[in-house]
Structure 1
């Protein structure tokens, strides 16, 4: 089978699911029973008819070189349960989805995709899009900058009042005042400031040591305000980082970087309005990290989804700013291929040093991507249910973030380890280590922990 026809594993398919309910529904459809006329092509296309509740079966087609999905079902999730089920069927039984001639309904969509990727066609109506008025854009940017400055000044006064009245008063004031301040930052078109204010409001009364945490976060917020108010004197790329943290758009810059990118992790977060998908990549040749973000409106999954544990020959375009982790997904050359091993890893001390170094470029950075080699997940003695990943040689350890302790990924990691050393990729930050993928000498492939 050629490269375009490489089948994804069950683990890789499940990692594409937008949520747990989609995984469960897709699993139920991962058998031959509900499918008819299922087939695939050497170019990476997979299709089939899935029996549903209606009189007509759902038409499902997947282009694994994207990946991209098309289904006649009404679901707003990408991929839907039918696409997941079809791919799971192919992963489990190659003969059930053998090579065949694509039906007209699948070929029509695949041909249209081929024309778009080949650069044919154009905007609706065949005309070029009108260029934006640069002078109007400049005036809009100036008006927004003025609103942000007014919001930052107001926020500085709020922080000064907090310190003047004493941190203990924050618990008595309740969350309402913080929410009001956050709303003022939204009015000032500074969503980054609004988000940090809401985080401050959740700290008082959050547990032992909350005054120290409130002081730390307030200091970082003050530093961000100071960076914006004195932006003219801030060197690049730190100035770009300040703009991004405030909430201004961060466009990609520079030349695209083509590499064989290992897809390490994919997971979604939501603020109630927007679903954000985070995709972590590592370049085999360049050795650089890349964080690709994809967004979807509330109730809708982001469209970009990549198979965890696969290697993609593709281009990404990095954004500016400290660390330059953020990147935009670009052109992909061929289909995913199986991974031949994890990225190079280090010790827990190396991970802390990498995070500390990254903080010099971005003081507001919450975490940094790291790969830990030869570590063992173990409970922390007398920590009330806490866990850590410890170097196999006993030299050091990293506590796992509290948010990880209630997730099934922790138990997957412990089961994979079985008390022995494993390689783990994750995010290392001031809240602890968040494991996202793991590899074991006794197992093949990447184990997704999200």
Structure 2
């Protein structure tokens, strides 16, 4: 695979920005005149950026693996800071006079520390320990987690019963601290997924019909009952339950997958609490006689820190992807190296009439599923009200997360042609992510749909 820096573009560099203000500031800094020194040492960039002080800031970027890291002598607590982003933008534009030169001692020490930490993390802890002792320790830790979860879900069951008995009007009168307090108790019980669902309740209280709130509370209640019946569930169903409760994915337990061709369809980036989350959807070639398959990659980063380098939209690549255990498999993890492939994959179709049926099939397998990826077309966008429509008269509302500017951009791209759209369907609204003209065999555009305040 070519070095990461040689594939870097301005768009992928800006996608690393922790927020939109950092992206704008970096674009202003990406001028060679402000950099008295620019250098590269393999997949390490470094330079000096002249700020308002007497001495320039020393900036370094480590791109020796897919997780790009940076270090800067500026006081910013954002990672990467505007200076590191500016350095990446300069390199992506091939602007300025770059020299092949080793970094100064401060950066050499930082780079060496990163290598040491990577090697330490790669070592399997306890390899020399007694296997039987490790198994006993793991069983003891699991039993402790299960007791905490059982207590937390019993508490949640009582809390939900009181909430329903008091009624919708009483729930609307509750202060926000009540929801936060219950969510905090669930976090303490190692039930982060249930806590996230509780924090979402206040946003559903103002719907006069109460339908969305009732369905949401039903999901929470189902978690409590699913945990009670966990021993009777199949392996895939138990995995979905644990995922909904917030249990982390055991990456080491996933079987090794065979490499095949995939293609990024686009991504959605948004904030969830103190985390930045990016969902990237992939299309994979199916076996002969089978439909192409979809896969969902999830990336997380704390607020103020950058997400990993994104996959290039619509660029086919070859990689091994392992699906996480689930009765309705969507989430996947990339295993090993990614290499560029030549030919794009043919895109499947789908109709608006089939959309809800597909979602119902998925929910029957995993009742805590929040969304599915779906192709819809031929279809067109309607602005007032925001809808996705087809020639047969079917229409579905677009998600409120779609910005008006994004809609106008998609309309301008489509011109007067019908399109096939790919997006996320949550059973109520459609969030378009990419589109392909019905008159063209190649995707015209797809990329990252950004929430307000996230750099495009």
- TM-score bracket for the superposition, by shorter chain length: 0.7 to 0.9
Gaps of 5+ in 2: 451-456
Determine the C-alpha separation between the residues in 2 that align with 1:352 and 1:293: 24
Determine the C-alpha separation between the residues in 1 that align with 2:47 and 2:101: 9
Alpha-carbon deviation of 1:284? 4.6
Kindly indicate whether residue 433 of structure 2 is the aligned counterpart of residue 432 of structure 1: no
Contact map agreement 2:259 2:319 (CA 8 A) in 1 = yes
Determine the C-alpha separation between the residues in 2 that align with 1:180 and 1:374: 47
Determine the C-alpha separation between the residues in 1 that align with 2:343 and 2:69: 23
Gaps of 5+ in 1: 381-385
Kindly indicate whether residue 368 of structure 2 is the aligned counterpart of residue 364 of structure 1: yes
Alpha-carbon deviation of 1:316? 3.2
Structure 2 counterpart SS, 1:325: coil
Determine the C-alpha separation between the residues in 1 that align with 2:422 and 2:96: 33
2:299 counterpart (294, 297, 303): 294
Alpha-carbon deviation of 1:400? 0.8
* Counterpart position of 2:395: 397
Determine the C-alpha separation between the residues in 1 that align with 2:78 and 2:227: 38
Determine the C-alpha separation between the residues in 2 that align with 1:357 and 1:339: 32
* Counterpart position of 2:278: 277
Contact map agreement 1:339 1:445 (CA 8 A) in 2 = no
Structure 1 counterpart SS, 2:100: coil
Determine the C-alpha separation between the residues in 2 that align with 1:73 and 1:342: 48
Structure 2 counterpart SS, 1:237: helix
Kindly indicate whether residue 146 of structure 2 is the aligned counterpart of residue 130 of structure 1: no
Determine the C-alpha separation between the residues in 1 that align with 2:266 and 2:413: 17
TM-score (norm 1): 0.79
Kindly indicate whether residue 322 of structure 2 is the aligned counterpart of residue 323 of structure 1: no
TM-score (norm 2): 0.78
Instruction: Spell out the pairing of 1:343-422 with structure 2 (5 A cutoff).
Output: 343-380=347-384, 386-391=385-390, 393-404=391-402, 406=403, 408-422=405-419
Structure 1 counterpart SS, 2:235: coil
Alpha-carbon deviation of 1:177? 3.9
Determine the C-alpha separation between the residues in 2 that align with 1:337 and 1:16: 24
Kindly indicate whether residue 223 of structure 2 is the aligned counterpart of residue 224 of structure 1: yes
Query: For residues 228 and 341 of structure 1, do their structure 2 counterparts lie closer, same or farther at Cα, with a shift above 3 Å needed?
Result: same
Equivalent pairs counted in the alignment come to: 431
Alpha-carbon deviation of 1:48? 5.4
* Counterpart position of 1:264: 265
Alpha-carbon deviation of 1:68? 2.3
Determine the C-alpha separation between the residues in 2 that align with 1:225 and 1:409: 39
* Counterpart position of 2:453: none
Determine the C-alpha separation between the residues in 2 that align with 1:220 and 1:411: 36
Structure 2 counterpart SS, 1:389: strand
Alpha-carbon deviation of 1:150? 2.2
* Counterpart position of 1:196: 197
Alpha-carbon deviation of 1:88? 3.9
Structure 2 counterpart SS, 1:189: coil
* Counterpart position of 2:70: 70
Query: For residues 307 and 122 of structure 1, do their structure 2 counterparts lie closer, same or farther at Cα, with a shift above 3 Å needed?
Result: closer
Determine the C-alpha separation between the residues in 1 that align with 2:433 and 2:43: 27
Query: For residues 10 and 34 of structure 1, do their structure 2 counterparts lie closer, same or farther at Cα, with a shift above 3 Å needed?
Result: same
Determine the C-alpha separation between the residues in 2 that align with 1:154 and 1:35: 58
Contact map agreement 2:14 2:23 (CA 8 A) in 1 = yes
Determine the C-alpha separation between the residues in 2 that align with 1:53 and 1:234: 63
